[in-house]
Amino acid sequence: MQYIVDYKISVQEVKLKTLAITIFIIIQLMLTKNVKVYAAFNTLLQENKIHAAVKQLNFLSQFEVDALIVQDLGIANIIKNIFII
């Protein structure tokens, strides 16, 4: 028997994984130098963009940042309620 496995990965997925690895390496380098790492989520959101913002925050949550700077108080509330602080 012959099996054909067709695993497709989008260019966007590759870029996102590459970005994640790059961010991780930079943060680890900063931590070895005792440098604090801050992430800025500096945007005012429309209600129809909240789901996408939560996905981006979830992406950011995998990194060891010292602080997250936000502008939108609604996002601050989402962070407080969804992500354990």
**What ranges do the domains of the chain cover?**
11-82
What SS3 class is residue 24?
A: helix
pTM: 0.65
What pLDDT does residue 2 have?
Answer: 38
How many alpha carbons fall within 13 Å on the CB side of residue 39?
17
For residue 39, what are its two tokens?
């992430």
Q: What share of the chain is helix, strand, coil (3-state, %, to 5)?
A: 55, 10, 35
- Write the DSSP symbol of residue 71: S
41: part of which helix (H) or strand (E)?
A: strand 38-41
What pLDDT does residue 32 have?
Answer: 87
What pLDDT does residue 3 have?
Answer: 39
For residue 85, what are its two tokens?
């602080």
Measured between alpha carbons, how far is 53 from 37 in angstroms, rounded to an integer?
20
Report the percent of the chain where pLDDT is more than 70.
81
